[in-house]
């Protein structure tokens, strides 16, 4: 406030040194001052010679008329210049001998004239300056409104302006083209299928609008509150961003990813079947042949010992190959369901690592749709393998929570953790599988979240809303049973 007042004072007083000397009316006013001064001097001279017959001079207060006129027309520069000019013209009268010019009275009245000139002129200039600023602000506001209106009308995106109650007050041409009737005066619910309050202040809501000309289009609704004065009703602006192509591209990517995962699973199934039917069977036959050669009486002792060692290595290779086959396509997943398959997987983990890995099941175990069971198994498999390879954890817990609404899967470890936000901006080494888990969950109709922080472990949660596919297979464990990762007995 003080800064604004100081700036205004500087601008006003700057005009004092620039009187309107090029204005013809200004010089007419100065001529009037000359006439008053001359008349006053003449009357004082005459009254000194004939004091009884001539009045005592023209009143100095008459100068207020030209000074006030100059102030009203030219502001401070005109009024001060006129007052100074009048003072200079009054000097001959003030210098008359023997107080013929009434020095005392005239000086008081001249001081009053100068004060009036400064006061009135200053306030006139200040008022004009404020009026000019207000007019400039109004012009800028009108220009801003014109620019906004131009952007509003020419914007290709449909824009609606609604009241607090959801009544549409204005719409640009793109929004009016959405429906054949006039949208102004109708409610947002009629046009978008949802009121302003339902949409809220956020963005990202996707709506579908069908028009006879363009057919079905999808729009993302971006909502913004329009600033309003305290006495005005708050308004809401809704910008509809056409995301039809973006949505179609997303669906194409989704279908491609779904097809890619399906092909991947089919390839895994084929490779697992081929490994089981040929190499694995050949290794089993080879182990039996080595056993028969070892048991032959004609076989030397040294050779028999070598055959025995070869048979052990062959069986070890067969065991490892059987584990690879189980990892590619675990038979228990199709035959028994998710929980038994994960128990077998954690048992295999216990054979190869020292990390205590436990499975905890809550709720009533049930068979889920095959795509959900496969996605949950692959997510668990990838999450556990990430813990083994990167987390440096001491404990690992996998939980399955079955309920009427579907399945909640959690993989929790107490390892080193990481920053999940980095997954959205970059692809750090070792974390590509986390992105794949999200895609698998989404393709199966679920949602995957990752909660982690450096030094605080990691929790991977996958939720699937689905209906039980069929009752649990015979031989499944009772709800709540915990399977530890104790080593499995090799067959």
State the pTM of this model.
0.52
Check whether residue 167 and residue 278 sit in a common domain: no
Residue span of the structural domain in which 104 resides:
2-138
Is 39 within the bounds of a domain?
yes
Is 374 within the bounds of a domain?
yes
Check whether residue 23 and residue 129 sit in a common domain: yes
Banded pLDDT at 188 (limits 50, 70, 90): confident
Block residue for tokens 């954690």: 346
Check whether residue 43 and residue 134 sit in a common domain: yes
Give the pLDDT of residue 476: 46
Check whether residue 228 and residue 288 sit in a common domain: no
Q: What is the mean pLDDT of the chain?
A: 79
Using the predicted structure, report yes or no on whether residue 477 has a pLDDT greater than 50: no
Check whether residue 42 and residue 171 sit in a common domain: no
Q: Which two tokens stand for residue 382?
A: 């990838």
292 vs 96, residue with greater confidence: 292
Q: In angstroms, rounded to a whole number, what is the distance separating the alpha carbons of residues 456 and 68?
A: 82
Check whether residue 130 and residue 183 sit in a common domain: no
198 vs 264, residue with greater confidence: 264
Banded pLDDT at 38 (limits 50, 70, 90): confident
**Burial class of residue 433 (count of CB atoms within 10 Å of its CB; 0-12, 13-18, 19+):** middle
Is 430 within the bounds of a domain?
yes
Check whether residue 285 and residue 348 sit in a common domain: no
DSSP assignment of 271-315 equals: HHHHHHHTHHHHHHHHHHHHHHHHH-TTS-HHHHHHHHHHHHHHH
* Domain end call among 313, 329, 345: 329
Using the predicted structure, report yes or no on whether residue 480 has a pLDDT greater than 50: no
DSSP assignment of 440-470 equals: HHHHTTEEEEEEE-TTS-EEEEEEEE----B
Q: Can you tell me the mean pLDDT for 50-64?
A: 63
Check whether residue 354 and residue 464 sit in a common domain: yes
261-289 per-residue burial string, b: 16 or more CB within 10 A, e: under 16? beeeeeeeeeebeebbeeebeebeebbee
Give the pLDDT of residue 423: 65
Check whether residue 369 and residue 474 sit in a common domain: yes
Give the pLDDT of residue 412: 94
Q: For residue range 107-120, what is the model confidence (pLDDT) as tens digits?
A: 888 888 888 888 88
Give the pLDDT of residue 431: 53
* Domain end call among 107, 138, 169: 138
Element (H, E) at 167: none
Check whether residue 21 and residue 58 sit in a common domain: yes
**Burial class of residue 377 (count of CB atoms within 10 Å of its CB; 0-12, 13-18, 19+):** buried
Check whether residue 311 and residue 368 sit in a common domain: no
Q: For residue range 344-363, what is the model confidence (pLDDT) as tens digits?
A: 888 888 877 888 889 999 98
Check whether residue 355 and residue 472 sit in a common domain: yes
Among 140-149, 195-204, 452-461, name the one with the lowest average pLDDT: 195-204
* Domain end call among 312, 329, 346: 329
Share of residues in the chain with pLDDT > 70 (%): 82
Rama region for 400: left / alpha / beta (φ>0; ψ in -120 to 50; rest):
beta
Residue 193's CATH number? 3.30.450.20
320 vs 451, residue with greater confidence: 451
Q: Structurally, how many domains does the chain consist of?
A: 4
55 vs 210, residue with greater confidence: 210
Among 38-52, 99-113, 343-357, name the one with the lowest average pLDDT: 38-52
């Amino acid at each position: 406030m003080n800064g604004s007042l100081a700036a205004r004072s500087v601008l006003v007083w700057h005009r004092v040194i620039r009187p309107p000397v090029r204005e013809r009316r200004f010089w007419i006013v100065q001529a009037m001052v000359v006439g008053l001064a001359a008349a006053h001097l003449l009357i004082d001279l005459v009254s000194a010679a004939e004091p009884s017959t001539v009045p005592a001079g023209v009143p100095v207060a008459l100068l207020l008329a030209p000074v006030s006129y100059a102030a009203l027309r030219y502001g401070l520069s005109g009024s001060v210049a006129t007052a100074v000019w009048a003072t200079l013209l009054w000097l001959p009268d003030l210098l008359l001998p023997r107080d013929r010019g009434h020095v005392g009275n005239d000086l008081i009245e001249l001081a009053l004239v100068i004060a009036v000139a400064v006061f009135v002129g200053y306030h006139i200039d200040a008022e004009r300056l404020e009026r000019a600023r207000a007019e400039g602000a109004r012009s800028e506001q009108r220009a801003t409104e014109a620019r906004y209106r131009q952007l509003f009308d020419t914007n290709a995106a449909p824009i609606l302006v609604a009241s607090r109650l959801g009544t549409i007050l204005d719409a640009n041409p793109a929004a009016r083209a959405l429906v054949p009737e006039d949208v102004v005066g109708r409610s947002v619910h009629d046009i978008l299928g949802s009121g302003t309050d339902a949409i809220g202040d956020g963005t990202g809501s996707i709506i579908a609008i069908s028009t006879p000309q363009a057919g079905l289009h999808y729009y993302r609704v971006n909502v913004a509150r329009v600033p309003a004065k305290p006495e005005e009703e708050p308004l809401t602006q809704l910008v509809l961003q056409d995301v039809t192509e973006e949505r179609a591209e997303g669906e194409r990517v989704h279908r491609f990813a779904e097809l890619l995962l399906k092909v991947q699973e089919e390839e895994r199934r084929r490779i697992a079947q081929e490994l089981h039917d040929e190499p694995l069977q050949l290794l089993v036959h080879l182990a039996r042949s080595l056993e028969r050669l070892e048991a032959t009486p004609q076989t030397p002792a040294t050779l028999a010992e070598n055959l025995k060692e070869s048979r052990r290595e062959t069986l070890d290779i067969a065991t490892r190959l059987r584990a690879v086959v189980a990892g590619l396509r675990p038979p228990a997943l199709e035959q028994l369901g998710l929980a038994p398959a994960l128990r077998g997987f954690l048992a295999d983990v216990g054979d190869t690592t020292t990390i205590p890995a436990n499975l905890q099941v809550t709720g009533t175990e049930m068979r889920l749709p095959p795509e959900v069971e496969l996605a949950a198994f692959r997510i668990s498999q990838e999450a556990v393998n990430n813990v083994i390879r990167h987390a440096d954890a001491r404990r690992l817990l996998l939980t399955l929570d079955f309920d009427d609404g579907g399945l909640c899967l959690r993989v929790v470890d107490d390892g080193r953790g990481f920053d999940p936000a980095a997954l959205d901006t970059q692809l750090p080494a070792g974390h590509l599988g986390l992105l794949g888990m999200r895609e698998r969950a989404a393709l199966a109709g679920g949602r995957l979240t990752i909660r982690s922080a450096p030094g605080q472990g990691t929790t991977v949660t996958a939720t699937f809303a689905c209906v039980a596919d069929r009752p649990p297979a015979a031989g499944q464990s009772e709800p709540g049973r915990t399977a530890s990762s104790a080593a499995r007995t090799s067959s």
